[in-house]
Amino acid sequence: MIILVINCGSSSIKYQVLDMKNDDDYSLLAKGIVEKIGLADGSIAHTRTGYPKVIKKQFIEDHKVGMELVLNELVDSENGVLKSFEDIKAVGHRIVQGADFFSESALVNEDVIAKIDYCSDFAPLHNPANILGIRAMQKVLPSVPQVAVFDTAFHQTMPDYNYMYPLPSSYYKKYRVRKYGAHGTSHQYVAGKAAGIAGVDINNSKIITCHLGNGSSVTAVLNGKCYDTSMGFTPLAGMIMGTRCGSIDPNIVTYIMKKEHLSEDEMTAVMNRKSGFLGLTEVSSDVRELCEAVEKGDQRAKLGLKVLVQDVTKLIGSYAAEMNGVDLIAFTAGIAENNPWLLEQVCANLTFLGLKFDTKTNNEKGIDKVVTMPDSKVKVAIVSTNEELVIARDTMHLVFGK
Which residues form the catalytic set?
151
Site residue total, ligand ADP (CB under 6 A): 12
Phi and psi torsions of 367, nearest 5°: -110, 175
According to the binding rule CB under 6 A, does residue 287 interact with ligand ADP?
Answer: yes
Distance CA 99, CA 91 (A): 22
Measured between alpha carbons, how far is 358 from 354 in angstroms, rounded to an integer?
Answer: 13
Q: Are 327 and 205 in contact (CB under 8 A)?
A: yes
Q: Provide the mask over 219-248, with x wherever binding to ligand ADP is found by CB under 6 A and - wherever it is not.
A: -----------------------x------
CA angle 376, 380, 382 (to 5 degrees): 150
CB 284 within 8 A of CB 276: no
Nearest-approach distance from CB 286 to ligand ADP, in angstroms: 4
Please report how close the Cβ of residue 317 comes to ligand ADP at its closest, in angstroms: 23
CA distance linking residue 184 with residue 219, whole number of Å: 9
Shortest separation between residue 235's beta carbon and ligand ADP, angstroms: 10
| Other CB atoms within 10 Å distance of the CB of residue 78 | 8
Largest CA distance in the chain: 61
Nearest-approach distance from CB 45 to ligand ADP, in angstroms: 16
Residue 214 binds to ligand ADP (criterion: CB under 6 A) = yes
- Note whether 292 binds ligand ADP by CB under 6 A: no
Question: Rounded to whole angstroms, how far apart are CA atoms 158 and 135?
Answer: 31
Q: How many CA atoms lie within 13 A of 231 on its CB side?
A: 29
The stretch near ligand ADP (CB under 6 A) out of 37-45, 102-110, 280-288, 362-370 is 280-288
Three-state SS for 167?
A: coil
Piece of 2-10, 68-76, 192-200, 282-290 that binds ligand ADP (CB under 6 A): 282-290
Q: Encode 211-241: b = buried (16+ Cβ within 10 Å), e = exposed.
A: bbbbbbbbbbbbebbbbbbbbbbbbbbbbbb
Residue 272 makes contact with ligand ADP by CB under 6 A: no
**Cα 265 to the chain's mean position, in Å?**
24
CB of 143 to ligand ADP, least distance (A): 33
CA dist 319 and 345 (Å) reads 18
Nearer of residues 139 and 288 to ligand ADP, judged by Cβ = 288
CB 89 within 8 A of CB 399: yes
CB 123 within 8 A of CB 8: no
Task: Quote the least distance from Cβ 141 to ligand ADP, whole Å.
Answer: 27
Contact call for residue 308 and ligand ADP (CB under 6 A): no
- Name the residue number minimizing CB distance to ligand ADP: 334
Closer CB to ligand ADP, 138 or 284, in the complex: 284
Q: Indicate the residue among 74 and 241 with the shorter CB distance to ligand ADP.
A: 241
Q: For the window 194-213, what string marks contact with ligand ADP as x by the rule CB under 6 A?
A: -------------------x
Among 288, 299, 341, 348, binds ligand ADP (CB under 6 A): 288
Nearer to ligand ADP, 80 or 304 (CB): 304
Least separation in angstroms between residue 336's CB and ligand ADP is 8
CB within 8 Å of 397: residues ≥ 6 apart? none
Q: Which is nearer to ligand ADP, 47 or 138 (CB)?
A: 47
Q: 46 or 94, CB closer to ligand ADP?
A: 94
> Smallest distance, Å, CB 358 to ligand ADP?
21
Cα separation, 246 vs 267, whole angstroms: 14
| Residues 312-341 within binding reach of ligand ADP (CB under 6 A) | 333-335, 338-339
- Which residues, 338 to 357, sit near ligand ADP by CB under 6 A? 338-339
CA atoms of 207 and 143, how far apart (whole Å)? 41
**By the rule CB under 6 A, 286 interacts with ligand ADP:** yes
CB 242 within 8 Å of CB 285: yes
Q: Which is nearer to ligand ADP, 214 or 272 (CB)?
A: 214
Contact residues: ligand ADP, CB under 6 A: 213-215, 242, 286-288, 333-335, 338-339
